[in-house]
Amino acid sequence: MLPSQDDCIKEIKHNVTVYPKPSAIYDFKDEVCQYIPLQLKIKPDSAQNNFIYKWETGKSQELDDSTNARPTVRFSEAGNNNNYIRLTIYNKDFEACSTHLENKTIMVHPVPNGNLAADSTICQKLQGTYKAYDIKDCDSCKLEWFMDNMKQTQNDSIITKIWNDDGTKKVKLLLTTRHGCIDSIERIIVVNPKPSTPTQYLDTSFVITNQVKPLYIRVEMIH
């Protein structure tokens, strides 16, 4: 008896594990102020525990943890030259299954820089002058003055202030760019109390006056 066609077939089975390939997009802004931390994250992040993260940046950046799902980075150089973010995501169980996200360029806006001129000491009730100078990286900059944490209505580079109370005072100047980058400059001054004027009294118990009296001369004729 000839074998049937089914007898010539051998079935071989092999189980194959298919690992999910990571899929994500960046979920953070592409501009930040110099030195201000920027948190890096992706979306969706619901399955982030199943993946390994490798963040990379340019040479001038400080990354707190390159394997964290949401690390923070600080950019020390302004501009966008070499200020980039790159991410590679690996499957924990099968690292060959990975996704490389394209570089994302970050525009880093400079933090303004300035100086504040103020006398270290001043007398109570006298007018003090305070001046902002050597202001850099601050096009269209907004100036805000604070005297002992009280915001002033003056916003020029030179302002005046009369201190009614003596003691230690704090003068603060805020420089804010149109991109929201801020520099804070503070000075401590000492307001000395104004000396009090002594009360003057007039002693009227003894008064000397110059008096002018007429002089009379008697002339007699002798015969």
Domain with 81, as residue range(s), is: 21-109
Q: Is residue 199 part of a domain?
A: no
Two tokens, residue 180:
């929201």
Please provide the size of the chain in residues: 223
Strand order in the sheet with 167-176: 121-123, 182-192, 167-176, 142-147, 150-151
100-143: pLDDT as tens digits: 999 999 999 999 999 999 988 999 999 999 999 999 888 778 99
Domain match, 93 and 29 both: yes
Least confident of 52-66, 75-89, 114-128: 52-66
CB 172 within 8 A of CB 146: yes
* Same domain? 42 vs 101: yes
Task: From 77, 109, 141, give the residue that closes a domain.
Answer: 109
Whether this model's pTM surpasses 0.85: no
pLDDT for residue 106: 95
Q: How buried is residue 68: exposed, middle or buried, by Cβ count under 10 Å (0-12/13-18/19+)? A: middle
Inside any domain, residue 13: no
Find the CATH number of the domain harbouring 51. Answer: 2.60.40.10
pLDDT tens by residue, 135-187: 988 877 899 999 999 999 988 999 999 999 999 999 999 999 999 999 999 99
